[in-house]
Amino acid sequence: MKKILIVDDQIEVRELVEVTLRVKDYEIFQASSGKEAIEIARAEKPDLIIMDIMMPGEIDGLEATRLLKTDPETKDSSIVMLTAKGQQADKKIGLTAGASDYFSKPFSPLDLINKAEEILE
């Protein structure tokens, strides 16, 4: 079974993304911070990580992405940014950090499902 880790400091966003992706049989984990995301990713080796950028604590989504993509244990996980930071410059920074795609909030649930399926199938 494919594994997805949803990372966002807002539980409502995590729940919405989880409900959106429940159309398929994925094992879904949630993290509320960059630090927690790294811990869960190392333990569970998710196939896909959906990562917010702006989160409290010393590790935001960009730094968590950089750390995950340079860690031999987690570098193979695909990371998709899902964030309120929607400027073209923000997208470039996210992709440079190691994300394979970038969605701005509010997002299209159908587009997110299609991207997840594209990455996981």
Rounded to whole angstroms, the Cα distance separating 99 from 81 reads: 6
0.85 surpassed by pTM: yes
110 pLDDT band, cuts 50/70/90, is very high
11 pLDDT band, cuts 50/70/90, is very high
Please determine, for residue 86, whether its predicted confidence score (pLDDT) is greater than 90: no
Selection from 121, 97, 120 nearest residue 46 by Cα: 120
Are 88 and 61 within 8 A, CB to CB?
A: no
Domain ranges of the chain: 3-120
In this structure, what token pair is assigned to residue 103?
């969605």
3-120: what CATH class? alpha beta
